[in-house]
Amino acid sequence: MPIVNDPIDALISSGDPSADAYLLRAIPQQVRGYRLATAASADELHRYIPGARVLLAWGVPVDILRLATRLEWLQVIGTGVDGLAPAKDLLRNVTVTNIRGVFSRPIAEYVVTYALAHLQRLRRVLSQQRDHAWAPFPPERLEGKTVGIVGLGSVGTEIARLCSALGARVIGMRGTKGPAPHVERVYAMEEIAAFLPQCDVLVLALPATPRTRDFMSLERLAMLKPSAFVVNVGRGSALPAANLVTALDRGLLAGAAVDVFEEEPLPKHSPLWDRENVFVTPHVSGINRPEDIAGPIVENLRRFAAGDPLLNVVDLDRGY
């Protein structure tokens, strides 16, 4: 059990200097017992990580984790932990936690924003404004549409709440059946053939696991109505770019908003950049303010110093 009188060496490396600086200021104001350092470069990580018992980080390379011989707890400053899969053996005796729940609201707002942008014909509005063209057209509304959400964790549940508040009918899909808040009906994975054809807007909020890789195959994309709009805010592996391009070429869906890709940055030669019916965003849906991420991190720092169970422990074998 950690002892407060013996300072706990903790290293902060979020990948964002402003977030690092915020945490370096905020943590001592709210919890005692830690000797803090920040690492903004690979050289600094190499220098400090051998002495760290606690690592607050995002995207730490495996070769650097090999140096973390004293590490007891890794707090991922994010939700996804698929990037740690190659380091599973190195982390067998390390508690890994994430900050799931913090990103739910911004991601839900992203989904609503781009669903409405599609339904309200935002691209057409901008084009007509640019051309000084007064050409009335009938925009669509989210109210009355069916929004299907695959993945009903904290993010999917918040998406369901916002969409239902706007009058959409919300259905969901996840690995286990049972009711979910703001969701009319939850479908099991084996019921996907009944689920997909109902969706006017399909939202993918899936973690990266072997089971979710290539989740939206061409066969499944073909189950959607041609007027469907797809939003991916989970992981790029669930909707490979090649599948999306082919589906759009074949007219299997009306468009998409994609924030996550198998390869990031999205290669400049990808045809998705030039699609008039696709919104490409650079993995920004879950970007949060430093003060938002500090709360759950500080709570876990308190728990670790007291020897209490940590919140949001993840299983690297399961991938979440």
Annotated active-site positions, please?
A: 235, 264, 283
Angle of helix 122-130 relative to helix 104-119, nearest 10 degrees, comes to 60
Residue 207 exposure: Cα atoms within 13 Å on the Cβ side: 24
How far apart are the C-alpha atoms of 313 and 320, rounded to whole Å? 9
Residue 162 exposure: Cα atoms within 13 Å on the Cβ side: 19
How far apart are the C-alpha atoms of 153 and 172, rounded to whole Å? 11
Q: C-alpha distances in angstroms, 88 versus 51, 143, 236? A: 20, 44, 21
Tell whether omega for the bond before 2 is within 30 degrees of 0, i.e. cis.
Answer: no
Q: And the tokens for 8?
A: 């706990």
| Residues 144, 113, 206, 177, CA torsion sign | negative
- CB-count exposure of residue 17 (10 Å: 0-12, 13-18, 19+): exposed
125 strand-pairing partners: none
> Measured at the alpha carbon of residue 194, what is the angle toward residues 170 and 207, in degrees to the nearest 5?
65
H or E stretch including 172? strand 169-174
**Burial readout 255-269 (b: 16 or more C-beta within 10 A, e: otherwise):** bbbbbbbbeeebeee
